[in-house]
A and B are shown apart, each in its own frame.
Chain A
Amino acid sequence: MAELAHASVAELGRLLAARKVSAVELAQHYLARIDAQRDLNAFLDLRPELTLAQARAADQRRARGEDGALLGVPIAHKDIFVTRGWASTAGSKMLRGFMSPFDATVVANFEQAGMVCLGKLNCDEFAMGSSNENSAYGPVHNPWDKAAVPGGSSGGSSAAVAARIAPAATATDTGGSIREPAAFTGVTGTKPTYGRPSRWGMIAFASSLDTAGLMTQSAEDCALLFNRMLGFDPQDSTSIDRPAEDYTRALGSGVAGLTIGVPQEFFGDGLQPDVEAAVREALRVYQRLGARLVEISLPNAALGIPVYYVLAPAEASSNLARFDGVRYGHRAAHYADLADMIKKSRAEGFGAEPKRRILIGTYVLSHGYYDAYFIQAMKVRRIIADEFRAAFNQCDAIMSPVTTSVAFGFGEKAADPVAMYLADLYTVPGSLAGIPSMSVPCGFGAGGRPVGLQLMCNHFEEAKMLAIAHAYQRETDWHRRLPPGV
């Protein structure tokens, strides 16, 4: 069915409602597409019988008179979300074969809406990475150029949507793990306000930064999905208690009269000319659509990387302390005593990047260093967050590149952890401020690899941000371009 191959979530919902296709047919269609593109290594766990059982249940619900916009629409979940039916590994050997006794709230929300789970998506181990080269289950390949990384940590999610082997996918963003892979693979990647989506069942990396979000084909699809995804969850201690919203309500509002802030610090040294050219052209499109550009300054944004690489590893060292080989996860086969069992289980179960971050985190929290590193980083975090708050007094949205370059090749940065961390340069400041931000495809750069435009809005302004992105996507077709062979 040709029209299914590249259908958006919105279009699939309409086809299902019109009974032009059943949920079972759709599921079979996507399972076949997934199978045909196994070389991407986007999926970690596939259970066709489970997927088809969910699809049959959706068809039965429709037969009984239900008609939600997402009923029967397929979705895939980043392996950082626990699921009862599929294994949950967080991309790590530590959790090989782990079967969760419960579903993450985000997963349960979509299942209640009748969405059909296609399987679990590959990611950097414990969401730590910017290239999906840190997965214990092999790297993911960029559908636009298989010699290139898809970005990380949500590389499986971005590759799956780019290759249209899933119409949409859940993902998570702690320092850029949705926006950067979205930019590298030419899909729309959205991180909501921190605390807006539930973290219950999301394997924890950095608790004050981790935010669930989506890879979609468009801002419109994202808005549709956010309506079921976001909301207060009493099981998440940092969940924001705010009324539910309709994120599609402002989609058609356009950008006439809007002010867009362009932070000069995000266009400095290190930004590659091909990325800058595509982003500046996108800004000109916004001007043609009636928006006004203003130069703004976020003077301490550059400190985002060192602040993030103190806070996130510190929080990770605490969150990953639970993996001790006692109640679940990898346990070493040979050890002298309990202490030895724990040390060996952790050394064997974790890959190099989680170990590095645990060690840095332990150090910055340790006696004698806590004030100079951790407390200091928390203070500089506030300085950065305050600068964003002040900037939003001057503009409705901030726009910038997402990354300094297009997707890099395998192995290019893997040997140099600090070089890899700098891939997060433009995304980390927004993470520290907890603001909603997204990447929208805006063209191509060197080697025909995609470029992303970053949009950032103030807390709780997801509907406005999606409307601003939608205006661009009505005017351009970058988000509809398909990788070769897709």
Chain B
Amino acid sequence: MSLALADVRRIAHLARLEIADAEATATQAQLNDILAMIERMQRVDTTGVEPMAHPLGGTQRLRADCVTESAERDRLLANAPAQEAGLFLVPRVVE
């Protein structure tokens, strides 16, 4: 399975990564090298094999739905690129 340049752009969009034209061609070549390396795994007969998500077969633990932490707003805002009145600031979303 070989990626065309249009595929690279589509995947970059899905990943919300801007990719310049010059970069896209080099990236396409590298991704195709990686996919060629991955290919031999696809040919393995895995009929009847269960997919493994957790190496020890663990399942999602649940807990009671109750508050266990308090929000330290100033601390949480400390790394914000832009903030105002205790809120994270972003460019306008809704027109």
Contact = CB atoms under 8 A, between A and B. Distances in A.
A331 B82 contact: yes
B46 A376 contact: yes
A243 interface: no
Interface in B16-41: 16-19, 27, 30-31, 33-35, 37-41
A377 B41 contact: yes
Contacts of A375: 51
Contacts of A321: 16
Contacts, number: 160
A376 B41 contact: yes
Contacts of A317: 15
B27 A379 contact: no
A133 to B, nearest CB: 16
Interface string A355-398: 11011101100100000110111111111010000000000000
A347 B18 contact: yes
Interface in B31-86: 31, 33-35, 37-42, 44, 46, 49-56, 58, 60-61, 63, 72, 75-76, 78-82
Among B11, B12, B40, B52, the one with the most A-chain Cβ atoms within 10 Å of its Cβ is B52
A193 interface: yes
A238 B61 CA distance: 8
B90 interface: yes
B33 A346 contact: no
B51 A346 contact: no
A299 to B, nearest CB: 11
Contact of B42 (A209, A344, A373): A373
Contact of A362 (B14, B39, B63, B93): B14
Interface string A334-362: 01011111111011001000011011101
B41 A327 contact: no
Given A194-B55, A310-B38, A343-B18, A101 B31 contact: no
A326 B31 contact: no
Contacts of A478: none
Given A338-B93, A355-B17, A307 B60 contact: no
A101 B78 contact: yes
A50 B24 CA distance: 45
Interface in A69-118: 98-99, 101
A382 B50 contact: yes
B31 A360 contact: yes
A305 interface: yes
A363 B16 contact: no
B52 A346 contact: no
Given A193-B56, A343-B17, A434-B55, A380 B46 contact: yes
B5 interface: no
Contacts of B81: 325-326, 328-331
B49 A359 contact: no
B88 A327 contact: yes
A473 interface: no
B49 A379 contact: yes
Given A238-B58, A376-B41, A433-B55, A327 B46 contact: no
A363 B40 contact: no
B51 A379 contact: yes
B50 to A, nearest CB: 6
Given A306-B40, A307-B41, A359-B27, A417 B33 contact: yes
A98 B79 contact: yes
Nearest to A196: B56
Contact of A356 (B31, B41, B49, B79): B31
Nearest to A84: B75
Contacts of B40: 303, 306
Contact of A305 (B15, B37, B58): B37
B11 A359 contact: yes
A255 interface: no
B37 A309 contact: yes
Contact of A303 (B17, B34, B41, B50): B41
A421 interface: yes
A462 to B, nearest CB: 14
A306 B75 CA distance: 41
Contacts of B53: 208, 378
A459 interface: yes
Among A98, A380, A385, the one with the most B-chain Cβ atoms within 10 Å of its Cβ is A380
Ranked nearest first, the 6 interchain pairs of A and B with the lowest CB-CB distance are A434-B55, A378-B51, A331-B81, A306-B41, A328-B79, A379-B46
Interface of A: 98-99, 101, 193-195, 208-209, 234, 237-238, 240, 300, 303, 305-307, 309-310, 317, 321, 324-331, 335, 337-344, 346-347, 350, 355-356, 358-360, 362-363, 366, 372-373, 375-383, 385, 416-418, 421, 432-434, 459
Interface of B: 3, 7-8, 11-12, 14-19, 27, 30-31, 33-35, 37-42, 44, 46, 49-56, 58, 60-61, 63, 72, 75-76, 78-82, 88, 90-93
Given A310-B41, A421-B37, 8 more contacts: A101-B72, A327-B80, A343-B16, A358-B17, A372-B42, A379-B51, A380-B41, A421-B34
11 contacts: A194-B56, A317-B15, A329-B79, A344-B18, A356-B31, A359-B11, A360-B34, A372-B42, A373-B42, A382-B52, A416-B33
